Amino acid sequence: MKNIQKIVKITLLLMFFCLAFSCSEEDDYEPPYGDFSSLTVWTSFDLDEDEQEKRVIGLNKYVAFNDLSRGLVSHQWEIEDGMHFISGNFTAADTLNYARFIKPNAGKISTDNLVYVLFTELGEKDIKLVNIFKDSVAESVKSGDVWKVDKTITVTVLEE
């Protein structure tokens, strides 16, 4: 019986030391965000049954576009007539009138990563993302010493 108690005590003591010394407060991992470039774009479009974006929106509705890319030298969103940048300061109760959230004097270009775009005209509308990277990424073309992505997202605006 004494041998079993001795074995249990030694086992518990060894487990305690293993746990105490295996957990280090140092975090040796450094995320590689400064070391690579990547193109990542997210939108708030609904998805179809094949998990593809349905790039269709109702008139006077908005879509959120978020550029999550890494290793950028510069970045901008460009919209055309019939589209407006709006602030994101609305709630579910504001769904009847997004026009009051249009950013005054915002123009047609934004360097914000996250933009909300209101569609106020019917038809096919293009929003363009222009990113400049220090390294090659998907969909990029070399331009001098940098890599350029010129991505157009076409949205069909329909009457609801």
pLDDT of 8 = 64
Contacts (Cβ under 8 Å, ≥6 apart) of 82: 119, 120, 121, 123, 125, 157
Confidence at residue 53, expressed as pLDDT on a 0 to 100 scale = 82
d(CA 81, CA 141) in angstroms, rounded, equals 27
The confidence score (pLDDT) of residue 4 equals 74
Domains defined for the chain, CATH in brackets: 37-158 (2.60.40.10)
Question: What pLDDT does residue 23 have?
Answer: 58
Q: What is the pLDDT of residue 36?
A: 78
Per-residue pLDDT, 146: 94
Q: What predicted TM-score, i.e. pTM, was given to this entire model?
A: 0.75
Low-confidence ranges of the chain (pLDDT < 70): 1-2, 8, 12-35
**In angstroms, how far is CA 96 from the centroid of its own chain?**
26
Q: What is the pLDDT of residue 2?
A: 66
Q: Which of 18, 119, 30, 111 is nearest to 73 (CA)?
A: 111
C-alpha to C-alpha distance for 123 and 136, rounded to whole angstroms: 34
Q: What is the pLDDT of residue 32?
A: 57
The pLDDT value given to residue 12 = 63
